[in-house]
Amino acid sequence: MSQRLLSLLCLLPWLASPLALAEPVPLFANPVYDRNFPDPFVLPAAGGYWAYATNGNGHQVQLAYSCDLVRWEARPDALPTLPAWAASGHTWAPEVLPVAGRYLMYYTARDRATQRQCVGVAEADAPQGPFRDDRDGPLVCQPDEGGSIDASAVRAADGSLYLYWKNDGNAVGQPTWLYGQRLGADGKTRVGRPQRLLRNDTAWEGRLIEAPTVFAADGRYYLLYSANDYAGSRYAVGYAVADQPLGPYTKAAGQPILASEGEVSGPGHQSVAVDAEGRHWLFYHAWTQGLEGDPRGRRSLRVDPLRFDGARLQRVHTSLAPQPAPAVPSDSNCPASAPPAWVTSSPSDVGAP
Protein backbone atom coordinates (compact mmCIF):
# COMPACT_ATOMS: atom_id res chain seq x y z
CA MET A 1 0.00 0.00 0.00
CA SER A 2 1.40 3.37 -0.98
CA GLN A 3 2.20 5.96 1.65
CA ARG A 4 -0.26 8.38 -0.02
CA LEU A 5 -3.14 5.89 0.15
CA LEU A 6 -2.32 5.05 3.75
CA SER A 7 -2.43 8.71 4.67
CA LEU A 8 -5.81 9.11 2.96
CA LEU A 9 -7.27 6.13 4.82
CA CYS A 10 -6.09 7.58 8.09
CA LEU A 11 -7.93 10.83 7.28
CA LEU A 12 -11.26 9.19 6.42
CA PRO A 13 -12.62 9.02 10.01
CA TRP A 14 -11.89 12.73 10.53
CA LEU A 15 -13.43 13.71 7.20
CA ALA A 16 -16.65 11.99 8.22
CA SER A 17 -16.76 13.63 11.63
CA PRO A 18 -19.35 16.34 12.45
CA LEU A 19 -16.53 18.82 13.05
CA ALA A 20 -15.20 18.46 9.52
CA LEU A 21 -18.66 18.56 7.91
CA ALA A 22 -20.12 21.42 9.96
CA GLU A 23 -20.81 24.77 8.38
CA PRO A 24 -18.69 27.71 9.53
CA VAL A 25 -20.27 29.56 12.44
CA PRO A 26 -21.31 33.13 11.56
CA LEU A 27 -20.01 35.66 14.04
CA PHE A 28 -20.80 39.30 14.64
CA ALA A 29 -19.37 42.12 16.72
CA ASN A 30 -21.01 45.07 18.47
CA PRO A 31 -22.14 47.67 17.73
CA VAL A 32 -24.41 46.14 15.09
CA TYR A 33 -25.63 49.57 13.93
CA ASP A 34 -22.96 52.18 14.52
CA ARG A 35 -24.93 55.39 14.40
CA ASN A 36 -26.96 57.37 16.91
CA PHE A 37 -29.98 55.10 17.42
CA PRO A 38 -31.28 55.60 20.97
CA ASP A 39 -34.10 53.76 22.75
CA PRO A 40 -34.21 50.86 20.26
CA PHE A 41 -37.10 48.43 19.83
CA VAL A 42 -36.86 45.37 17.55
CA LEU A 43 -39.90 43.75 15.91
CA PRO A 44 -39.93 40.50 13.88
CA ALA A 45 -42.34 41.00 10.96
CA ALA A 46 -42.75 40.54 7.22
CA GLY A 47 -39.91 38.05 6.91
CA GLY A 48 -37.32 40.18 8.67
CA TYR A 49 -36.64 42.43 11.63
CA TRP A 50 -37.45 46.11 12.09
CA ALA A 51 -35.74 48.40 14.57
CA TYR A 52 -37.33 51.67 15.67
CA ALA A 53 -35.60 54.45 17.60
CA THR A 54 -35.98 57.95 19.03
CA ASN A 55 -35.94 60.94 16.66
CA GLY A 56 -32.61 61.73 15.03
CA ASN A 57 -30.78 61.86 11.72
CA GLY A 58 -33.61 64.01 10.34
CA HIS A 59 -36.39 61.53 11.21
CA GLN A 60 -39.21 61.67 13.74
CA VAL A 61 -38.90 57.90 14.23
CA GLN A 62 -35.72 56.28 12.99
CA LEU A 63 -36.15 52.92 11.26
CA ALA A 64 -33.69 50.21 10.27
CA TYR A 65 -34.19 46.78 8.69
CA SER A 66 -32.29 43.51 9.13
CA CYS A 67 -32.67 40.00 7.79
CA ASP A 68 -30.63 38.44 10.61
CA LEU A 69 -30.72 40.75 13.68
CA VAL A 70 -27.11 41.89 13.25
CA ARG A 71 -26.80 43.50 9.80
CA TRP A 72 -28.90 46.67 9.72
CA GLU A 73 -29.66 49.23 7.04
CA ALA A 74 -31.46 52.55 7.36
CA ARG A 75 -35.00 52.97 6.07
CA PRO A 76 -37.20 56.07 5.67
CA ASP A 77 -38.88 57.81 8.60
CA ALA A 78 -41.52 55.50 10.09
CA LEU A 79 -43.62 58.42 11.43
CA PRO A 80 -43.02 61.25 8.95
CA THR A 81 -45.98 63.35 10.11
CA LEU A 82 -46.97 64.02 13.71
CA PRO A 83 -50.58 64.64 14.79
CA ALA A 84 -51.78 68.16 15.53
CA TRP A 85 -51.54 67.65 19.30
CA ALA A 86 -47.80 66.85 19.16
CA ALA A 87 -44.86 69.20 18.70
CA SER A 88 -41.89 67.99 16.66
CA GLY A 89 -38.39 67.37 17.95
CA HIS A 90 -39.25 65.28 21.01
CA THR A 91 -40.44 61.96 19.53
CA TRP A 92 -39.03 59.26 21.77
CA ALA A 93 -38.92 55.53 22.38
CA PRO A 94 -41.27 54.08 19.72
CA GLU A 95 -42.46 50.48 20.04
CA VAL A 96 -44.69 48.54 17.64
CA LEU A 97 -47.23 45.75 18.19
CA PRO A 98 -49.20 43.87 15.49
CA VAL A 99 -52.93 44.04 16.27
CA ALA A 100 -55.79 42.75 14.11
CA GLY A 101 -53.79 42.73 10.88
CA ARG A 102 -52.35 46.20 11.40
CA TYR A 103 -49.37 47.65 13.23
CA LEU A 104 -49.71 50.01 16.18
CA MET A 105 -46.85 52.27 17.21
CA TYR A 106 -46.76 53.55 20.78
CA TYR A 107 -44.50 56.58 20.96
CA THR A 108 -43.72 59.59 23.15
CA ALA A 109 -44.17 63.17 21.93
CA ARG A 110 -44.48 66.69 23.32
CA ASP A 111 -48.14 67.50 24.02
CA ARG A 112 -48.78 71.08 22.89
CA ALA A 113 -51.59 71.58 25.42
CA THR A 114 -49.63 70.62 28.55
CA GLN A 115 -46.04 71.02 27.31
CA ARG A 116 -45.33 67.59 28.79
CA GLN A 117 -44.15 64.41 27.13
CA CYS A 118 -47.13 62.10 26.56
CA VAL A 119 -47.81 58.76 24.86
CA GLY A 120 -49.49 58.56 21.46
CA VAL A 121 -50.54 55.66 19.25
CA ALA A 122 -50.18 55.60 15.46
CA GLU A 123 -51.25 52.98 12.89
CA ALA A 124 -49.89 51.49 9.68
CA ASP A 125 -50.58 48.62 7.29
CA ALA A 126 -46.95 47.49 7.28
CA PRO A 127 -44.14 47.38 9.85
CA GLN A 128 -42.16 50.02 7.98
CA GLY A 129 -45.10 52.41 7.97
CA PRO A 130 -45.66 55.14 7.22
CA PHE A 131 -47.45 55.32 10.57
CA ARG A 132 -50.17 57.88 11.13
CA ASP A 133 -51.84 59.17 14.30
CA ASP A 134 -55.27 60.69 13.64
CA ARG A 135 -56.29 61.02 17.28
CA ASP A 136 -57.17 64.37 18.81
CA GLY A 137 -54.85 63.83 21.75
CA PRO A 138 -52.44 61.41 23.41
CA LEU A 139 -53.36 57.93 24.62
CA VAL A 140 -51.69 58.45 28.01
CA CYS A 141 -50.78 61.75 29.62
CA GLN A 142 -50.09 62.47 33.29
CA PRO A 143 -49.15 66.17 33.39
CA ASP A 144 -49.56 66.30 37.18
CA GLU A 145 -46.87 63.60 37.45
CA GLY A 146 -44.47 65.16 34.96
CA GLY A 147 -45.90 63.49 31.86
CA SER A 148 -45.85 59.94 30.49
CA ILE A 149 -43.05 58.37 28.44
CA ASP A 150 -41.49 55.09 27.25
CA ALA A 151 -44.65 53.15 26.37
CA SER A 152 -44.36 49.42 25.68
CA ALA A 153 -47.21 47.08 24.70
CA VAL A 154 -47.36 43.31 25.04
CA ARG A 155 -49.79 40.51 24.21
CA ALA A 156 -50.25 38.15 27.17
CA ALA A 157 -50.57 34.37 26.96
CA ASP A 158 -54.38 34.60 26.79
CA GLY A 159 -54.26 37.15 23.96
CA SER A 160 -55.11 40.18 26.07
CA LEU A 161 -53.12 43.37 25.53
CA TYR A 162 -51.31 45.48 28.11
CA LEU A 163 -49.52 48.81 28.03
CA TYR A 164 -46.61 49.83 30.25
CA TRP A 165 -45.05 53.26 30.67
CA LYS A 166 -43.22 55.60 33.04
CA ASN A 167 -44.47 58.81 34.59
CA ASP A 168 -41.80 61.42 33.89
CA GLY A 169 -41.58 62.49 37.52
CA ASN A 170 -37.90 63.36 37.42
CA ALA A 171 -38.78 66.20 35.02
CA VAL A 172 -40.70 67.95 37.83
CA GLY A 173 -38.93 66.73 40.95
CA GLN A 174 -41.38 63.90 41.67
CA PRO A 175 -40.89 60.13 42.08
CA THR A 176 -40.90 57.92 39.00
CA TRP A 177 -43.10 54.86 38.66
CA LEU A 178 -43.57 52.17 36.05
CA TYR A 179 -47.27 51.84 35.28
CA GLY A 180 -49.28 49.06 33.65
CA GLN A 181 -52.82 48.98 32.29
CA ARG A 182 -54.91 46.65 30.19
CA LEU A 183 -55.76 47.69 26.64
CA GLY A 184 -58.90 46.94 24.67
CA ALA A 185 -58.79 44.42 21.84
CA ASP A 186 -58.15 47.25 19.38
CA GLY A 187 -54.93 48.22 21.21
CA LYS A 188 -56.01 51.87 21.18
CA THR A 189 -58.23 52.15 24.24
CA ARG A 190 -57.37 51.79 27.92
CA VAL A 191 -59.43 49.49 30.12
CA GLY A 192 -59.82 49.98 33.86
CA ARG A 193 -57.34 51.97 35.90
CA PRO A 194 -53.54 52.11 35.59
CA GLN A 195 -51.56 50.28 38.25
CA ARG A 196 -48.25 51.26 39.76
CA LEU A 197 -45.84 48.35 39.32
CA LEU A 198 -42.33 49.48 40.31
CA ARG A 199 -40.47 52.57 41.43
CA ASN A 200 -36.82 53.51 41.91
CA ASP A 201 -36.05 52.32 45.44
CA THR A 202 -32.52 50.89 45.32
CA ALA A 203 -29.20 52.72 45.24
CA TRP A 204 -28.07 51.74 41.75
CA GLU A 205 -31.32 53.08 40.24
CA GLY A 206 -30.51 56.65 41.25
CA ARG A 207 -33.27 59.20 40.86
CA LEU A 208 -35.37 57.47 38.21
CA ILE A 209 -36.65 54.25 36.70
CA GLU A 210 -37.84 54.04 33.08
CA ALA A 211 -38.05 52.09 29.80
CA PRO A 212 -40.26 49.14 30.82
CA THR A 213 -40.12 46.06 28.60
CA VAL A 214 -42.24 42.99 29.38
CA PHE A 215 -41.84 39.54 27.86
CA ALA A 216 -43.12 36.09 28.84
CA ALA A 217 -41.05 32.93 29.27
CA ASP A 218 -41.96 29.60 30.92
CA GLY A 219 -45.17 30.97 32.37
CA ARG A 220 -43.56 34.02 33.95
CA TYR A 221 -43.57 37.69 33.03
CA TYR A 222 -40.24 39.49 33.07
CA LEU A 223 -40.28 43.26 33.41
CA LEU A 224 -36.98 44.72 32.26
CA TYR A 225 -36.28 48.37 32.96
CA SER A 226 -33.52 50.96 32.81
CA ALA A 227 -32.54 53.27 35.65
CA ASN A 228 -30.28 56.17 36.63
CA ASP A 229 -29.11 58.96 34.32
CA TYR A 230 -29.37 58.04 30.63
CA ALA A 231 -26.64 60.58 29.81
CA GLY A 232 -24.04 58.99 32.08
CA SER A 233 -22.08 55.80 32.66
CA ARG A 234 -24.30 54.71 35.57
CA TYR A 235 -27.29 54.01 33.34
CA ALA A 236 -28.06 50.29 33.58
CA VAL A 237 -30.73 47.59 33.23
CA GLY A 238 -32.57 45.61 35.90
CA TYR A 239 -35.59 43.33 35.99
CA ALA A 240 -38.50 42.05 38.07
CA VAL A 241 -40.64 38.91 37.77
CA ALA A 242 -44.37 38.21 38.14
CA ASP A 243 -46.92 35.49 37.45
CA GLN A 244 -49.39 37.90 35.83
CA PRO A 245 -48.94 40.76 33.33
CA LEU A 246 -49.80 43.40 35.94
CA GLY A 247 -47.91 41.75 38.75
CA PRO A 248 -47.23 42.01 41.55
CA TYR A 249 -43.63 42.23 40.34
CA THR A 250 -40.66 41.33 42.52
CA LYS A 251 -37.26 42.81 41.73
CA ALA A 252 -34.51 40.22 41.43
CA ALA A 253 -31.39 40.21 43.57
CA GLY A 254 -27.95 40.93 42.13
CA GLN A 255 -28.94 43.92 40.05
CA PRO A 256 -28.27 45.42 37.60
CA ILE A 257 -27.93 42.67 34.98
CA LEU A 258 -26.51 45.01 32.31
CA ALA A 259 -24.16 47.87 33.18
CA SER A 260 -21.14 49.76 31.86
CA GLU A 261 -18.26 47.43 31.17
CA GLY A 262 -14.96 48.07 29.44
CA GLU A 263 -15.49 50.40 26.50
CA VAL A 264 -19.28 50.06 26.62
CA SER A 265 -20.80 52.92 28.62
CA GLY A 266 -24.32 53.60 29.89
CA PRO A 267 -26.14 50.67 28.26
CA GLY A 268 -29.90 50.71 28.46
CA HIS A 269 -33.39 51.21 27.08
CA GLN A 270 -33.59 47.58 26.14
CA SER A 271 -35.87 45.35 24.09
CA VAL A 272 -35.95 41.59 23.62
CA ALA A 273 -36.11 39.51 20.43
CA VAL A 274 -36.17 35.74 19.95
CA ASP A 275 -34.17 34.06 17.17
CA ALA A 276 -35.10 31.08 14.99
CA GLU A 277 -33.88 28.60 17.61
CA GLY A 278 -35.86 30.18 20.44
CA ARG A 279 -32.94 31.98 22.06
CA HIS A 280 -33.52 35.39 23.60
CA TRP A 281 -31.41 38.40 22.63
CA LEU A 282 -31.18 41.71 24.45
CA PHE A 283 -31.01 44.82 22.27
CA TYR A 284 -29.95 48.09 23.83
CA HIS A 285 -28.13 51.32 23.13
CA ALA A 286 -24.80 52.37 24.64
CA TRP A 287 -22.71 55.53 24.52
CA THR A 288 -19.42 56.23 22.89
CA GLN A 289 -17.09 55.93 25.88
CA GLY A 290 -15.96 59.31 27.16
CA LEU A 291 -18.73 61.16 25.29
CA GLU A 292 -21.69 60.23 27.49
CA GLY A 293 -24.38 62.88 27.08
CA ASP A 294 -22.20 64.81 24.63
CA PRO A 295 -23.69 65.79 21.24
CA ARG A 296 -20.50 64.48 19.65
CA GLY A 297 -21.19 61.03 21.07
CA ARG A 298 -23.84 58.56 20.01
CA ARG A 299 -25.94 55.77 21.46
CA SER A 300 -25.35 52.95 19.01
CA LEU A 301 -27.40 49.75 18.68
CA ARG A 302 -25.98 46.63 20.32
CA VAL A 303 -27.15 43.09 21.07
CA ASP A 304 -26.02 40.31 23.38
CA PRO A 305 -27.49 36.94 24.41
CA LEU A 306 -30.05 36.98 27.23
CA ARG A 307 -29.67 33.72 29.13
CA PHE A 308 -31.68 32.09 31.89
CA ASP A 309 -30.59 30.33 35.05
CA GLY A 310 -33.83 28.67 36.07
CA ALA A 311 -36.26 31.53 36.64
CA ARG A 312 -33.45 34.08 36.92
CA LEU A 313 -31.85 36.09 34.16
CA GLN A 314 -28.09 35.86 33.98
CA ARG A 315 -25.94 38.96 33.93
CA VAL A 316 -25.39 40.23 30.39
CA HIS A 317 -21.74 40.96 29.66
CA THR A 318 -21.26 43.59 27.00
CA SER A 319 -18.72 42.63 24.39
CA LEU A 320 -16.92 44.13 21.42
CA ALA A 321 -15.34 40.80 20.49
CA PRO A 322 -16.78 38.52 17.79
CA GLN A 323 -19.46 36.15 19.09
CA PRO A 324 -21.90 33.64 17.54
CA ALA A 325 -24.74 35.33 15.69
CA PRO A 326 -28.47 34.76 16.25
CA ALA A 327 -30.02 31.89 14.33
CA VAL A 328 -32.06 32.86 11.28
CA PRO A 329 -34.96 30.92 9.72
CA SER A 330 -34.10 28.44 6.99
CA ASP A 331 -36.21 30.45 4.55
CA SER A 332 -34.51 33.71 5.49
CA ASN A 333 -34.04 36.25 2.70
CA CYS A 334 -30.50 36.98 3.89
CA PRO A 335 -27.73 36.85 1.28
CA ALA A 336 -25.79 33.61 1.26
CA SER A 337 -22.42 35.25 1.75
CA ALA A 338 -21.36 37.29 4.72
CA PRO A 339 -20.38 40.94 4.20
CA PRO A 340 -16.91 42.16 5.18
CA ALA A 341 -18.16 43.26 8.61
CA TRP A 342 -18.83 39.63 9.46
CA VAL A 343 -16.31 36.94 10.23
CA THR A 344 -16.79 33.20 10.24
CA SER A 345 -15.18 30.53 12.33
CA SER A 346 -15.20 26.77 12.64
CA PRO A 347 -17.32 25.41 15.53
CA SER A 348 -14.19 24.51 17.46
CA ASP A 349 -13.10 28.15 17.64
CA VAL A 350 -16.03 29.60 19.57
CA GLY A 351 -18.26 28.69 22.44
CA ALA A 352 -21.99 28.18 22.20
CA PRO A 353 -24.06 31.34 22.70
Model confidence pLDDT, tens digit, residues 228-240 = 999 999 999 999 9
Residue 12 lies in a domain: no
- pLDDT at position 84 is 98
In this structure, what CATH number is given to the domain that contains residue 78? 2.115.10.20
pLDDT tens digits along 313-331: 999 999 899 999 999 987 7
Whether 261 is catalytic is: no
- pLDDT at position 22 is 55
Residue 9 lies in a domain: no
**Angle at the Cα of 84 (from 83 to 85), degrees rounded to 5?**
95
Secondary structure of the chain: what % helix, strand, coil (to 5)? 10, 45, 45
**Given 95, 111, 210, 275, the catalytic residue:** 210
- pLDDT at position 335 is 73
Residue 44 lies in a domain: yes
- pLDDT at position 25 is 75
Residue 3 lies in a domain: no
Residue 237 lies in a domain: yes
Residue 119 lies in a domain: yes
The share of the chain scoring above pLDDT 70, in percent, equals 88
- pLDDT at position 330 is 78
Residue 101 lies in a domain: yes
Is residue 177 classed as helix, strand or coil in its secondary structure? Answer: strand
* Cα distances (angstroms) measured from residue 274 to each of 113, 160, 176: 39, 20, 30
Residue count (the chain): 353
The larger pLDDT score, comparing residue 119 to residue 350, is at: 119
pLDDT tens digits along 4-16: 333 434 444 444 4
- pLDDT at position 9 is 40
Residue 344 has pLDDT above 60, yes or no: no
Number of domains making up the chain? 1
Residue 81 has pLDDT above 80, yes or no: yes
Can you tell me the mean pLDDT for 296-308?
97
Exposure string of 273-299, with b = 16+ CB inside 10 Å and e = fewer, is bbbeeebbbbbbbbbbeeebeeeebbb
Range of the domain at 235: 22-349
- pLDDT at position 23 is 63
Whether 205 is catalytic is: no
Residue 16 lies in a domain: no
pLDDT tens digits along 266-282: 999 999 999 999 999 99
Residue 19 has pLDDT above 80, yes or no: no
Side chain identity at residue 252, one-letter code: A
**Given 39, 168, 275, 292, the catalytic residue:** 39
Mean pLDDT computed over every residue of the chain: 91
- pLDDT at position 235 is 99
**Within 13 A of 67's CA, how many CA atoms are on the CB side?**
11
pLDDT tens digits along 163-220: 999 999 999 999 999 999 999 999 999 999 999 999 999 999 999 999 999 999 999 9
pLDDT tens digits along 29-72: 999 999 999 999 999 999 999 999 999 999 999 999 999 999 99
Closest CA to 286 of 35, 21, 67: 35
- pLDDT at position 348 is 34
Residue 352 has pLDDT above 70, yes or no: no
- pLDDT at position 343 is 47
